[in-house]
Chains A and B, each alone.
Chain A
Amino acid sequence: MISLDFSVVRDSLPYLWKGMQYTLQLTATSAIGGLFFGTLLAMARLSSMKPVAWLASAYVNLMRSIPLVLVIFWFFFLVPVIAQTITGAERPIQIGAERTAIITFILFEAAYFCEIMRAGIQSIPRGQVHSAYALGLTYGQSMRLVILPQAFRNMIPVLLTQTIILFQDTSLVYVISATDFVGAAAKIAQRDSRLVEMYLFVAAVYFVICYTLSFSVKRLQKKIAVIR
């Protein structure tokens, strides 16, 4: 049996907090960006223009069929090459693991948020679309003023649950050595050979945050269900 010494956690708290700040920033940015692009993708998937709908669903299905780790590797390799093509530079432009991760997660999460928003849009009775058109609203107006606000509201619990999953998934930026919460903890753990204490602490922190959040989402869900 080993003896535990959690002083390593206490001593490295400022560094761990920096990692956690990046995790939170990555989660928030990806949730907002993913929701924005996901909504656009959902509109594209439901579009009556066949090529647009086909392209959007191909993108979503591709993203949902391959592991997030592989997606992260793909973007870590592709983003510098694409940046090079756009700017016409001579060599691939390295933008760092942290920024690559943000781009990756926005585009990856867009596929998941797309499916949620699609379900949300489809949950709105068709009559609402027809009445919006009957009032003379354009497609954009009927989406923005009639459909999306309701779809968004109906889907709030699911969107929040997906965000909790996203918060957990951001830990995978570890594979490209970005210093998120897990990355920071792993670096300290390896430097001081204190893997047991560090990883137990990390697990406890994630558990407390995610349990509290999912509990709140459950309560919110009940509240919303009553109003409707």
Chain B
Amino acid sequence: MNFDVLFQQTPDGDGAYWQWIVQGLYWTLAISAVAWVIAMLLGAVIGTIRTTGNAWLVRFGNAWVELFRNIPLLVQMFLWYFVIPEFVPPLKAWMISTEPLYAQYLAAVLCLGLFTSARIAEQVRAGIQSLPRGQRAAGMAVGLTQPQVYRYVLLPMAFRIVIPPLTSETMNLIKNSSIALTIGLAELTFRSREIGEYTFRFFEAFTAATLIYLVLAMTANRVMAWVERRTSVPGFIAGGK
């Protein structure tokens, strides 16, 4: 084992191999961050409408979740990159004219964002439904409208309840971003394999990537634990220790 290899110059003449790792990490984070925002917003909305009494909204929410949960992420990635542009001519034209990297990035972010939104919607729905029935009834009884009940009574509690499962979804999202390498996006896993192929030092290259993923997982875990502490309600859900 000799990590000097990471400090050798690349044959492409764009610096040392460790800079490839940094670039890969940059794209892993760039995909994960934007996909995370999409997933959280859509997941919160879809999860919430699945608990309303409106049959059509519930059906739409259920269909959303089932659609994204029952197709492998790899296949979804192919659909976003190879299939959907064929049905949207302006998008196809843009993909051909622009740098491949931007097209890959757009496909990866949409794919991971929507895939993860279905999983978050499931957690949000479970969170809302875990609240005692009386909370909704009490909100209605003091004269709140349904949106107000959600806004002031149900959602503030439900979002706090789902923070721990959302932590693991966040970590899953970072790991899943590696699947973007199948459409050619040079994220962290892609770069570490590339270094292995160029130098035949797979062990060192994969070890570097593995350590970075471990650090990312731990960081996501710490950040979400901090959010959980900051938002805890004294006297509820392991809060106010």
Contact = CB atoms under 8 A, between A and B. Distances in A.
Contacts of B218: 65
Interface in A46-68: 62, 65-68
A171 B70 CA distance: 13
B185 to A, nearest CB: 12
B124 interface: no
Contact of A62 (B86, B179, B214): B214
A66 B175 contact: yes
Contact of B209 (A70, A182, A206): A70
A175 B196 contact: no
A23 B237 CA distance: 42
Contacts of A174: 74, 182
Interface stretch (B75-83, B105-113, B146-154): B75-83
Contacts, number: 101
Interface string B175-199: 1111101100000010011001000
Given A70-B192, A70-B209, A74-B206, A207 B70 contact: yes
Contacts of B67: 207
Interface string B152-184: 000000000000000000010001111101100
Interface residues of B, number: 38
A124 interface: no
Given A70-B206, A168-B72, A199 B79 contact: yes
B210 A70 contact: yes
18 contacts: A2-B87, A66-B210, A68-B178, A69-B179, A73-B196, A73-B202, A74-B206, A168-B71, A171-B75, A195-B82, A195-B83, A199-B75, A199-B82, A203-B76, A206-B72, A210-B71, A214-B69, A214-B70
Given A65-B217, A171-B75, A196-B82, 17 more contacts: A1-B89, A2-B86, A62-B214, A65-B213, A66-B175, A66-B213, A66-B214, A67-B213, A73-B192, A168-B70, A195-B78, A195-B82, A199-B75, A199-B83, A200-B79, A202-B78, A203-B79
